[in-house]
Amino acid sequence: MKELIAVYNRFAETYHENRGIFDMSQIFNEFYTIINIDKGRLLDLGCGAGEPIPAMFIEKGWKVTGVDFSPKMIALANFYQPKVMTILSDISEIDFENDQFEAITAVYSLFHLEKEKQSPLFEKIYHWLKCGGKALFTYADQHYTGAESFSGYKEFMGEKLYYSHFTPPELRNILQNIGFEIIREDYREIGGEIFLWMTVGKPRKSRQRPDCAPRDKGT
Ligand X SMILES: C[S@@+](CC[C@H](N)C(=O)[O-])C[C@H]1O[C@@H](n2cnc3c(N)ncnc32)[C@H](O)[C@@H]1O
Interface with ligand X by CB under 6 A: which residues? 1, 4, 8, 19, 46-48, 68-70, 73, 90-92, 107-109, 112-113
Rg (CA), the chain: 17
Smaller CB separation from ligand X, 23 or 211? 23
Smaller CB separation from ligand X, 76 or 212? 76
The minimum distance between CB 56 and ligand X, in angstroms, equals: 11
> What does DSSP assign to residue 85?
E
The minimum distance between CB 67 and ligand X, in angstroms, equals: 6
Residue nearest to ligand X (CB): 48
The minimum distance between CB 35 and ligand X, in angstroms, equals: 18
Minimal CA–CA distance to 22: which of 41, 60, 48, 61? 48
Estimate the crossing angle of helix 168-178 against helix 115-128, to 10 degrees: 40
The minimum distance between CB 138 and ligand X, in angstroms, equals: 8
Q: Using CA atoms, how far apart are residues 219 and 216, in angstroms rounded to an integer?
A: 9
Label residues 56-88 b or e (16+ Cβ within 10 Å = b).
Answer: bbbeeebbbbbbbbbebbbbbbeeebeebbbbe
Smaller CB separation from ligand X, 86 or 130? 86
Smaller CB separation from ligand X, 75 or 147? 75
Q: Using CA atoms, how far apart are residues 109 and 117, in angstroms rounded to an integer?
A: 13
The minimum distance between CB 148 and ligand X, in angstroms, equals: 22
Smaller CB separation from ligand X, 81 or 109? 109
Q: Using CA atoms, how far apart are residues 143 and 7, in angstroms rounded to an integer?
A: 23
Smaller CB separation from ligand X, 21 or 37? 21
Label residues 104-129 b or e (16+ Cβ within 10 Å = b).
Answer: bbbbbbbbbbebebbbebbbbbbebb
The minimum distance between CB 74 and ligand X, in angstroms, equals: 8
Cβ atoms 127, 67 nearer than 8 A? no
